[in-house]
Amino acid sequence: MTVIEQSYRGSTIRLLVLMLGLFAVGTNAFVIAGLLPQIAAGLGASQASVSYSITVYALIVAVASPVVAFALSRVPRGLLMASGALLFTAGVVIAALSTSLTDFVIARVIAAVGGAALVPTASAVAATIVPPERRGRALAMVGAGFTLAVAIGSPFGTALGSAAGWRAPMWALAVIGAVTTVLILPLFRGVQRAASISLARRLRVLADVRVLAALGAALFATASFNVVYIFSAEVVRDATAGSGALLAVLLLVYGVAGVIGNAFAGRVTDRYGSGVTATIALIVQTIALVALACFEWSFAASVAVFAVWGVVVAGLTIPVQHRLVSIDPQSAQQTMAWYSTAMYLGIAIAPPLGNASLGVAGPLLVPITGAVVSLIALALFLLGFLKRRMPVVSAPDTRDLAVPRA
């Protein structure tokens, strides 16, 4: 084996470890949706109360991610990621042992701080441990952890929770987190620290109206997905007859469809532009959510809707990121940090929206609410193409929508 082959093999192993970490964090975020009824019953709380633990989790990650990146920029990357993985594992263990809603929420906060330290750092490190020509593939490999969390982690966690109780998936995640922690330190010794970036530079990208519009679109697009996904057990209760196993099947269909959508989204975006791709995805998502409200009683129809919905939601993230990066490539690192914050804020507002919908008109209103929020995301995304850039810093994305653009 040549030195180059050994280097590639070593970097691949390290990327797989990072992917495993993101898989654990992502599964922990998404599996709660499928376990909501069991957790509520086990803790003696309402489903609405338990759902707000998702809001707390997302808000902590949204706030902690930029704070950790700024305050701990001089900490060695391996140590920072291992500490994050350890905190995440501790949080999941406490969640598995919790006997009250308060304990469970505290556990989610601890896990969220760990995730905030691990996930952004892992994505940044992935691009530094491979040659420049392999950075795209490295980022895709690590990012696949989240895709697999939706495709495999969430549905199988739901099935495991249905068969063995909701604590079983928590213990499984604790094992994965512990393995990740043990592997990170020896594998990432000597990885260089991140370059220090001033707070002013981090905030400067928000002066561009187009960036704010795209971030707003990301926030509401994420909220529109999560408001339905989190309360999917209630939304499809008639179709599944309350069966956790059938709910797991729907989530698996959604996840597999998401893998397919993610696989093709990059090529479609490169060919047709971020504007066209994201616009079509948001329109199709809106139609799919309305269809879910119309046919929520039919399991077969729900399978079809979840499949279409999974493809377009997974395919939406890439064109939105593409749009943000194309506005000012030189500020891509700062812009993508804000993108992560926008996504978690979208997750945070989903439980209040879902609970309000359930309280007003029951499960049928939840997908309708998601559809309305999806239209808001579409309006904000298109608005970004109608605004002049402030200031002019680089050429626009010539593959975006053929409308007056910045």
Domain count, the chain: 2
Q: Which of 163, 196, 229 is the last residue of a domain?
A: 196
**Do both 174 and 217 map to the same domain?**
no
CATH number of the domain at 75, please.
1.20.1250.20
Q: Are residues 99 and 141 in the same domain?
A: yes
CA 292 vs. chain centroid, Å, equals 22
> Are 75 and 115 members of one domain?
yes
Per-residue pLDDT of the chain in tens (406 residues, 90 and over written 9): 444 444 556 688 999 999 999 999 989 988 998 899 999 999 999 988 999 898 898 889 888 887 887 778 778 888 999 999 999 999 999 999 999 999 999 999 999 999 988 888 887 788 777 777 676 677 778 878 888 888 889 899 999 998 999 999 999 999 999 999 999 988 988 776 656 667 777 788 888 899 999 999 999 999 999 999 989 989 999 999 888 889 889 988 998 898 888 778 777 888 888 899 899 999 999 999 999 999 988 999 999 999 999 999 877 887 887 888 788 777 766 777 788 889 889 998 999 999 999 999 999 999 999 999 999 999 999 998 886 544 444 444 444 443 333 3
State which of 161, 196, 231 marks the end of a domain. 196
Q: Is the pTM of this model over 0.75?
A: yes
In angstroms, what CA-CA distances link 309 with 92, 119, 258, 313, 347? 29, 26, 8, 6, 17
- Same domain as 181, residue 211: no
Retrieve residue 106's tokens: 């505290």
Please indicate, yes or no, whether residues 172 and 211 belong to a single structural domain of this protein: no
Spell out the residues 6+ positions from residue 239 whose beta carbon is closer than 8 angstroms to its own. Answer: 246, 250, 296, 297, 298, 299, 301, 302
Q: Are residues 252 and 167 in the same domain?
A: no
For residue 25, what are the domain limits? 1-196
